[in-house]
Amino acid sequence: MTCAHPVRMDARRGEKVDMALPTLTPEQRAEALKKAAAARTARKELRDAIARGEQTIPAVLDRAKSDQVVGKTKVADLLKSLPGYGPAKVSQLLEQTGIDASRRAAGLGDRQRQALIDALK
């Protein structure tokens, strides 16, 4: 049976505990939706810039820790933006470099980032 609300494990008792979600006012919900849409648009513009050659993967990854848009973008999505890189080639590249397909750019370690940059050369 699945729950429609978040659940966490109580470490001391080893049992599930319900977590209450904050109740948002209609204004707060609308603001959150607007913010999420803006973030999706910014990530799309980043991917388009990579596809056009205006941005490079090494330059984008260098900004991952300081730029929230870059940091929250999945590495696989950034790579798929490159001309000639589809799902199969990206999966192979991520496996070769030891990067999980769901990893976001800000979550890359220094070695993973360097391995990815070297593999793209």
Question: For 81-106, how does the pLDDT look when each residue is reduced to its tens digit (9 = 90+)?
Answer: 999 999 999 999 999 999 999 999 99
Phi, psi for 42 (deg, rounded to 5): -65, -40
The arrangement of secondary structure in 28-120, i.e. its CATH architecture, is Orthogonal Bundle (1.10)
If residue 7 lies in a helix (H) or strand (E), which one and from where to where? Answer: strand 7-10
Q: Which pTM was predicted?
A: 0.76
The CA distance from 31 to 40, in Å, is 14
CA dihedral 8, 10, 15, 20 (to 10 degrees): -40
Enumerate the domain spans of the chain: 28-120
Q: What is the pLDDT of residues 5-63, one digit of tens each?
A: 566 666 666 677 676 778 889 999 999 999 999 999 999 999 999 999 999 999 999 99
What angle do helix axes 110-120 and 87-97 make, rounded to 10 degrees?
130
